[in-house]
């Protein structure tokens, strides 16, 4: 293995692999550094991605990796990128193993880390019966007794999107509700009750929720929950390089997946709150193609 490349991709899941394929097919030398912790590793099945609907996420990425690595200019290492600095000719990336690599361009495709709330049972149910996306999981929990664990505009947005999927919808704010008069009127019109009681626990069987247990000891039977935990960047490398991070904690990119730092691109969940495999793949493909175009323009 060499140490100098056209492009280093930090993160070898759906978006990083998609970018690597675009770059490999244009004969760019690429190194993918991946720690093996994709955002959706807890999800039993991936949906809403044509040709792969219902597939196990790990199977999708394993097949993608196999196909990408058929291109001889693409290399993949299992390691964690711990630092990156700008150099005169591009970037130097340091891995946890202590090895350093250099490249002309850098793509960050590291996803995000979901921070589980302090509710017993939540993390065990996450991505199984507690889900974040109606497009990824809504069909599978249609018609079930469904909770929205959120408050304010986030809860209202969920209610608007999923009310057509079930008649048994209710909102749990886990504290004082923060809704406008108009939002409460919409909930009433659509027969969606709001419960402000503090939640102590999610009772479940192997990650499939059965009851919400409140701090006063009362319980409510439930089959599925929509909730969106706070998430943070998987790595501080973009911030170290000077990339702009928005108020939602996402890396700011333009329509070509460029960050504000010359030569640094970002794609996938670390840039976009619409977390879906199809979107991650699309943004990676775009980033790979446009990185190649930038490299070509610099020497043409």
Q: What is the pLDDT of residues 144-188, one digit of tens each?
A: 999 999 999 999 999 999 999 999 999 999 999 999 999 999 999
Token pair 């590291």 is found at: 110
Rounded to whole angstroms, the Cα distance separating 25 from 111 reads 24
For residue 242, give the DSSP letter: T
Rounded to whole angstroms, the Cα distance separating 259 from 237 reads 13
For residue 140, give the DSSP letter: G
| End-to-end Cα spacing for the chain | 28
Phi/psi for 78 (5° steps) reads -90, 105
Rounded to whole angstroms, the Cα distance separating 186 from 162 reads 14
Output the CA torsion sign for 184, 129, 114, 58.
negative
Q: Looking at residue 60, what is its pLDDT?
A: 84
Average of pLDDT values for 104-117? 94
42-46, 85-89, 91-95, 194-198: least confident range: 42-46
Q: Looking at residue 40, what is its pLDDT?
A: 64
Q: What Rg value do the Cα atoms of the chain yield, rounded?
A: 21
Buried b (16+ CB within 10 A) or exposed e, 198-214: ebbebebeebebbebbb
Average of pLDDT values for 69-77? 97
Phi/psi for 198 (5° steps) reads -75, 135
Buried b (16+ CB within 10 A) or exposed e, 88-104: eebbbbbbeeeeebbbb
55-69, 226-240, 276-290: least confident range: 55-69
pLDDT band, very low/low/confident/very high, at 42 (cuts 50, 70, 90): low
Rounded to whole angstroms, the Cα distance separating 262 from 279 reads 24
Query: Cβ distance 88 to 245 under 8 Å?
Result: no
Average of pLDDT values for 227-239? 93
Rounded to whole angstroms, the Cα distance separating 43 from 54 reads 11
Token pair 């969940």 is found at: 269
Rounded to whole angstroms, the Cα distance separating 65 from 80 reads 17
What pairs with residue 251 in β-bridges? 245
Rounded to whole angstroms, the Cα distance separating 147 from 61 reads 31
């Amino acid at each position: 293995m060499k140490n100098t490349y056209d492009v280093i991709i930090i993160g070898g899941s759906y978006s990083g692999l998609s970018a690597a394929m675009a770059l490999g097919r244009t004969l760019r030398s690429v190194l993918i550094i991946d720690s093996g912790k994709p955002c959706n590793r807890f999800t039993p099945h991936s949906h809403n991605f044509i040709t792969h609907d219902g597939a196990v996420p790990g199977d999708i990425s394993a097949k993608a990796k196999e196909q990408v690595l058929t291109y001889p200019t693409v290399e993949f290492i299992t390691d964690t990128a711990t630092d990156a600095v700008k150099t005169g000719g591009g970037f130097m990336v340091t891995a946890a193993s202590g090895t350093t690599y250099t490249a002309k361009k850098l793509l960050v495709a590291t996803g995000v880390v979901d921070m589980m709330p302090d509710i017993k049972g939540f993390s065990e149910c996450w991505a199984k019966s507690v889900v974040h996306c109606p497009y990824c999981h809504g069909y599978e929990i249609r018609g079930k007794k469904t909770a929205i664990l959120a408050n304010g505009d986030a809860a209202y947005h969920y209610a608007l999107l999923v009310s057509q999927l079930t008649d048994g919808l209710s909102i749990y704010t886990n504290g004082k509700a923060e809704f406008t008069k108009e939002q409460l009127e919409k909930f009433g019109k659509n027969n969606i009750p709001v419960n402000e009681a503090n939640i102590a626990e999610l009772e479940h069987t192997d990650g499939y929720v059965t009851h919400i247990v409140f701090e006063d000891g009362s319980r409510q039977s439930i089959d599925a929950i929509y909730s969106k935990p706070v998430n943070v960047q998987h790595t501080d490398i973009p911030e170290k390089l000077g990339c702009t991070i928005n108020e939602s904690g996402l890396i700011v990119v333009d329509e070509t997946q460029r960050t504000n730092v010359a030569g640094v691109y970002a794609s996938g969940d670390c840039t976009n709150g619409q977390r879906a495999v199809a979107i991650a793949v699309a943004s990676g493909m775009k980033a790979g193609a446009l990185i190649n175009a930038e490299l070509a323009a610099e020497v043409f």
